[in-house]
Chain A
Amino acid sequence: MRIHVPKDWEIAESAATPEREYRARTRRDFLKMAGIGIAGAFLLRPAARAALAGFPSRANPDYPGTDLKVTPYNLITSYNNFYEFGMDKGDPVGEANQGWKTDPWAIEIRGLARNPGKWDVDDLVKKFGGTEERVYRHRCVEAWSMVVPWDGFPLAKLVDFADPKPEAKYIQFTSFLDPKSAPGQRDESFGWPYVEGLRLDEARNELAFVATGIYGKPIPNQNGAPLRLVTPWKYGFKGIKSIVRVELTSREPFNTWQRLARNEYGFYANVNPSVDHPRWSQASERVIGGGFFSGRQPTLMFNGYEKQVAALYKGLDLARNY
């Protein structure tokens, strides 16, 4: 008999999610999806990727359904901040699917790593033992939020694989650069490619995740195919999309939003209801898909993940290190 010991950040299995197509995977669903995956591998390229990248995700008993209202798939995949494909949230779903190739995709590990090199994403996912599913809150710095069922692997696995040298203190991520496919990158004022980073201890936190899928399907281009960072206790812009390079460094990475507006966006970007954005309050948030009169819900410290991450910031002035 399997005894399920819930993780402390997990939410009770009690309530069902509104999205019909989404369920905590049962064994039968798993077998059915595996069948589709294997059959699809011979038919379609996306399906081929799904099979190679370890889809469907294994049902991980540590990460079951949740009492959070999971945001519908069509909203998660059509309300995107991905400035490489336009500044409006409706732009990426169209623009990122006009021939931009995300398969095959290689990711490079370099810097203060004992195991530098370049790897195919599918090979890497297989090496890490496939994917698992996690339902996380997602809070944008613009004061809206979603709940996303991600598939992927813990970032710690990638860090361990890179094997940091002792002097490595940070991890820097770099996104793709392809102005031909990404119209937003023709505007050079942004200083593409997009760069993000974490402290190494943040990267090793159990919540830090690399997503390769949503709702048990390979991650759509507009959400950052084929792999993106997910740090649910930080604002969404930390979740760099379509990563091509991971570099271990001894110096704090200078992330894109900090470069664009240093007085408004910092390196840490931890969700914090008591530290306002200079132009708007962060005390509450709009829930995506809530409808017209849904109102706002209070924003939680570290987006509700205080227990898991607060220790990382002991002694740090969070108002100054926003």
Chain B
Amino acid sequence: MGILERLLRSRAFVLALIVLPGLWPAWPILGGNPTVLADPSKFLLHHFGFVACILLAVVLSLSPLRILFPKSRLVSALNRYRRTVGVSAFFYALIHLGFQLIHENGWPTFWTDLRKPFLLVGVTTFAILLVLAATSFNAAVRWMGGRRWKNLHRLAYLAAALAAYHQAAARKIFPVQVLWIFVPLAALELARAVIQARNRRGGQVPRSPLKIPARGA
């Protein structure tokens, strides 16, 4: 087992990878970066939204990676913590929403802005992530049944598409450059579609299996 693989199999390491981006803003804020201090709530709001997008793109990349590289031990190590990564995307989105409310100075501006597609799309994305996080427990998987659970959780792809729009729309124009987060994901999905189509023609249909750990596991 390589060092990287061992690290990726460690829950502590994965959690550190997830938590550290949330602590990062302390650096420019305590360091007195004037650009950040000019409007700190905007900085925090954008930062947490950005990290939520990254985590969403990462978690969705895992299953095409598994189809594309079925033998890679690294990919399978990464896949162990899919749900942890997915739920953390939700928590970053939750903090992002909290900072948005502080930035808007409470609900009134938020409600007015909710009529705009920009904020409506953001809130819809959050609602999807909320449902997915709420059903992320093993008990929920058992209760819903694997297939229904999986279908529901395919909404994550819709969330990613909406998040991509929401993120680009946060700027003065729609700069395509900011979509780079989602470009690798789109490429992976395309490659997966090609491979699955080819395999299906060969009579072999690999699915990404859903492992439900036994109670108490």
Contact = CB atoms under 8 A, between A and B. Distances in A.
Interface stretch (B9-17, B125-133, B171-179, B201-209): B171-179
Contacts of A295: 105
B34 A87 contact: no
Contacts of B42: 144, 286
Given A87-B175, A260-B173, A279-B169, A75 B112 contact: no
Nearest to B99: A292
B38 A79 contact: yes
B5 interface: no
Interface residues of B, number: 28
Contacts of B103: 286
A17 interface: no
Given A79-B35, A79-B38, A79-B39, A142 B102 contact: no
Contacts of B37: 75, 289
A89 B38 CA distance: 10
Contacts of B118: 279-280
Given A79-B38, A280-B118, A286-B103, A142 B172 contact: yes
Interface residues of A, number: 36
B70 interface: no
A90 B35 contact: yes
A88 to B, nearest CB: 8
A261 B173 CA distance: 7
A292 B40 contact: yes
Interface in A202-227: none
Interface string B99-133: 00011110001001100111100000000000000
A283 B39 contact: no
B41 interface: yes
A289 B38 contact: yes
A289 B177 CA distance: 29
A117 interface: no
Cβ-closest 7 pairs across A and B: A90-B35, A79-B38, A295-B105, A279-B118, A78-B34, A296-B105, A74-B34
